Structure 1
C-alpha cells in the first residue's frame, strides 16, 4: 500500500475487508479494517506504543477528546471505552477510514459518544480536554507542523496532548519545534523507535 492511499480523501484501493485483534488495558478489541486505510494489516506499532505508554483517560475523565488521524479507529475506540463520560471526536481526511471508525464504534456500542468527521467539520467552539494522535509523519515536516499548529491550540487550558512519533521520521525535531512554539513537552517513553510525547500549555510566567 502506498502512502498516498491512506492520505487520499477517497482511496482507490479495492475494498478488501479484514479484522484485527489487539488488547489494551486488559480489554480485547476486534475492529474491522480495509485496504486503503493506514495500517490495515495490524495495529500500527506506533499506536500500540502510544496506547501502552501514555496515561489513558478513565471513568473520572470528562469533556471532549480528539483523535487526529483516526484511521479505522483503534485510538478512538479505546478512549471511548476507557472514558465513558467523554465525547470522542475522531477526524481523518480519508472517507473510508471515517466509515470504518463509525462502524467499529457502533459495533462496540460507542456510537452515541463518538463523533466522526472530516477535519473541517469539527465544530469551531469545541475545546478538548485531551488530544491523541499517531500523526501521519510521511506527509512531511511542514504539513506535520501545520497539523499540530491547527489542533494543539484547541486544548483546554488544563488539557494534555499525547503524541507518538517515529524517531527516524521527525520525532525529535517535532519535540524541539513544539518547545520553540511555547508548548511544554515531556518525552514519556521511547520504545521500538517511537517517542511518546506529553504536550501541555506552557505555564504563564509569574
Structure 2
C-alpha cells in the first residue's frame, strides 16, 4: 500500500477487508481493517507505542477527546473503552477509514460515544480535553505543521495532547517547532524509533 492511499479522501484501492487483534492495557480488541487505510495489516508500531507510553484515561475520566487521523479507529476505541464517561471525536480525511471506525466502534459497543467525522464536520465550538494522534508524517512538514496549527488551539484550558512521531520522519523537528510556537512540550518516551510527546497549553 502506498502512502497516498491512506490520506486520500476517497481511496482508489479496492476495499479488501480483514481483521486484526491486539491488546492494550489488558483489554483485547478485534477490529475490521481494509486496504486503502493506514496500517491495515497490523496495529501500527507508532500507535502501539503511543497507547503503551501515553497516559491513558481511566474509568473516572470524563470529557471530550479527539483522535486526530483515526484510521480504522484503534486509538478512539481504546480511549472510549478506558474512559466510559468520555466522548471521543474520531476524525479522518479518508472516507473508508471513517466507515471502519464507525463499524468497529459499534461492534465494541462504543457507537454512542465515538463520534466519527471528516475534519470539516467537527463543530467549531467543540474544544478537547485530550487530543491523541499518530499524525500522517508522510504528508510533509508543511502539511503536518498546518494540521497541528489547526487542531492544537482547540485544546480546552488545562487540556493535553499526546502525539507519536517517527524520529526519522521529523519527530525532533516537530518538538522544537512546537516549543517555538509557545507550546509546553515534554518528550515522554522514545521507543522503537518513535517519540511520544505530551503537549500542553501555550505559555503566553
TM-score (norm 1): 0.98
Q: Report what 1:71 is aligned to.
A: 71
Partner of 2:34: 34
1:175 is aligned to 2:175: yes
Moved over 4 A (4+): none
Aligned to 2:16: 16
Local SS of the residue matching 1:103: helix
Unmatched 5+ residue regions in structure 2?
A: none
Residues 112-158 of structure 1 deviation map (CA, whole Å, 9 limit, x = unaligned) = 00100100000110110000000000000000000000000000110
- Give the Cα–Cα distance (whole angstroms) in 2 for the partners of residues 202 and 103 of structure 1: 36
Q: Equivalent residue for 1:99? A: 99
**Larger CA deviation: 56-65 vs 189-198:** 56-65
The answer on whether the counterparts of 2:24 and 2:51 sit within 8 Å (CA) in structure 1 is: yes
Deviation string, structure 1 residues 73-95 (Cα, Å, up to 9, x no partner):
00000000000001000000000
| Residue equivalent to 1:187 | 187
Distance in 2 between residues matched to 1:59 and 1:34, nearest whole Å? 31
Q: How many pairs are equivalent?
A: 204
Stretch moving more, 60-69 or 140-149: 60-69
Q: Does 1:133 find its partner at 2:127? A: no
Find the aligned partners of 2:38 and 2:145 in 1 and give their Cα distance: 20
Superposition TM-score, scaled by structure 2 size: 0.99
Provide structure 1 residue ranges, at least 5 long, that are not aligned to the other structure: none
Whether contact under 8 Å (2:73, 2:90) holds in the other structure is yes
Give the C-alpha shift of residue 60 in structure 1.
1.7
Shift of 1:202: 3.1
CA distance in structure 2 between the partners assigned to 1:10 and 1:145 by the alignment: 23
| Cα distance in structure 1, aligned partners of 2:203 and 2:34 | 43
Residue 58 of structure 2 corresponds to which residue in structure 1?
A: 58
What's 2:163 paired with? Answer: 163
Query: Aligned partners of 1:203 and 1:8: how far apart in 2?
Result: 35
Deviations 1:162-183 (A, max 9, x none): 0000000000000000000000
SS across alignment from 1:165 = strand
- Partners of 2:86 and 2:187 lie apart in 1 by 26
SS of residue paired to 1:179? helix
> What is the root-mean-square deviation in Å for CA atoms of aligned residues?
0.6
Please say if 1:4 is aligned against 2:18: no
